[in-house]
Amino acid sequence: MKLAPLIGIEAVAFLLIIAETVLFFDFVVPLGPIPHSLTDYTGLALLKLILIIALVALWFVVMVGLTRLYVRSRIATAPKPST
């Protein structure tokens, strides 16, 4: 089962996409009514943008971390060349 770790990484990616979609639609989208002043509207838009960027950054951090962990484990178990 050499593909099991890669399948695990793909499964985690899929679960993160589902979880972040739920967080997006349950938390970021309904942050309140649309304000009618320009400064309040801009502040709300910037807050939502920051939250979206944070969700994307979380996904990339987890994926890069899992990929590095996988590569390190493959390098550690690779056969050493004989000289």
pLDDT at 15 (0 to 100): 95
Per residue in 9-68, pLDDT tens?
999 999 999 999 998 898 888 877 888 899 998 998 899 899 999 999 999 999 999 999
Indicate the domain borders of the chain.
Answer: 4-73
CA 45 to the chain's CA centroid:
21
> Which residues neighbour 48 within 8 Å (Cβ) at sequence distance 6 or greater?
28, 29, 31
One-letter amino acid for residue 42 of the chain: T
CA distances 61 to 13, 15, 47, 56, 78, Å, are 11, 15, 21, 9, 26
User: What is the tally of helices (H) and strands (E) in the chain?
Assistant: 2, 0
**Phi and psi based region of residue 32 (left: phi greater than 0; alpha: psi -120 to 50; beta: remaining):** left
